Amino acid sequence: MLPKKPADFDSDDDAASSAPLDQQLLLSLVGYNCRRAYITIMPLFEKRMAKFELRPVDFTVLSLLKANPDINQKRLSKAINVSPPNLATLLDRLEQRGLVLRQRNPQDRRSQVLALTTAGLRMCTKAEQTAIELELKATEMLSDAERAQLIGLLQKMFLPQ
């Protein structure tokens, strides 16, 4: 004789299944709220960056190189918290696409500096504008002051004081 089948857990009555879950503790956690915001924005970001064939880390590198021309790989690696070998692979890919150049540092011939190519600068400018538009759309429920405050509070957690 076969054992009885367990109760069907998917057959909750409609009232119970439509009631909101108690998330009181989770909603009081900074990390949880950051993660929820991240999973709301990142798919939109990735979709918009797909037309440029850029991953989030690629976009970050291009934007930093645009704002900080001629920085070396070590500084870039620290800034984006990516290990030097992983950054080298990433830079190889961007260099093969004709977006980034590695050049000998004129002040210290032992090191290399990084720069955007003309194509890299053009793509970065378009991608940055796309990111700005996306972020404004994703945060349209916030006033300008609230958006600035949110960014400031988040930066307070990770930028050196």
Q: What is the mean pLDDT of residues 11-21?
A: 73
Domains and their CATH numbers in the chain: 29-155 (1.10.10.10)
Check: CB of residue 63 under 8 Å from CB of residue 128. Answer: yes
Question: Residue 5 pLDDT more than 90?
Answer: no
Question: Residue 106 pLDDT more than 90?
Answer: no
pLDDT at site 107:
83
Check: CB of residue 78 under 8 Å from CB of residue 68. Answer: no
pLDDT at site 11:
54
The overall average pLDDT reported for the chain is: 91
Q: What is the pLDDT of residues 55-68, one digit of tens each?
A: 999 999 999 999 99
pTM recorded for the entire structure: 0.83
pLDDT at site 10:
54
Check: CB of residue 81 under 8 Å from CB of residue 32. Answer: no
Q: How far is CA 58 from CA 36, 54, 62, in A?
A: 23, 6, 6
Q: What's the rounded Cα separation, in Å, for the pair 91 and 103?
A: 12
Q: What is the pLDDT of residues 109-150, one digit of tens each?
A: 888 899 999 999 999 999 999 999 999 999 999 999 999 999
The DSSP line for the chain is -PPPPPP-TT---HHHHHSPP--HHHHT-HHHHHHHHHHHHHHHHHHHHHTTT--HHHHHHHHHHHHSTTEEHHHHHHHHT--HHHHHHHHHHHHHTTSEEEEE-SS-TTSEEEEE-HHHHHHHHHHHHHHHHHHHHHTTTS-HHHHHHHHHHHHHHHS--
